[in-house]
Amino acid sequence: MRARAAGFGGADAFATALYVGEDAASLLGTARDLAASGACRGGATVVNGLLLARFLGTAAGVRAAVMRYVAGLRQKAAGLPPRLPRLWHS
């Protein structure tokens, strides 16, 4: 079942990133660009005012895509350097 297209399409890993903020809808274009770039399948949408991104692929590909997504989104949303928060490195 997992290998079927309606399942995970053979993917090993799945991740979800959620952004909560009043500016969520205005970040959708950036979020889609960031989620679509990389070695896994990714996409983003706004649901009830929340920005939701999902990633599907190999464990290494999903990890790299989420790291790139978080770094890029925090730069666009908060004007911070495009890197992961320090908490992720401890």
Identify the band that residue 5 occupies on the pLDDT scale cut at 50, 70 and 90.
low
Q: How many domains does the chain have?
A: 1
- Please check whether residue 4 lies inside any domain of the structure: no
Q: Which domain holds residue 43?
A: 13-83
Give the sign of the dihedral formed by CA 18, CA 65, CA 36, CA 8: negative
- Please check whether residue 89 lies inside any domain of the structure: no
Instruction: For the beta carbon of residue 46, count every other beta carbon within 10 angstroms.
Output: 15
pLDDT tens digits along 79-90: 999 999 888 876
Provide the percentage of residues in the chain whose pLDDT is more than 70.
91
- Please check whether residue 5 lies inside any domain of the structure: no
Model pTM score: 0.88
Q: 49: domain CATH number? A: 3.30.70
Q: Which two tokens stand for residue 73?
A: 């989104």
Reply yes or no on whether the pLDDT at 6 is more than 70. no
CA distance 19 to 55: 15
pLDDT tens digits along 53-80: 999 999 999 999 999 999 999 999 999 9
Q: Which two tokens stand for residue 84?
A: 């992961």
Residue 49: per-residue pLDDT: 96
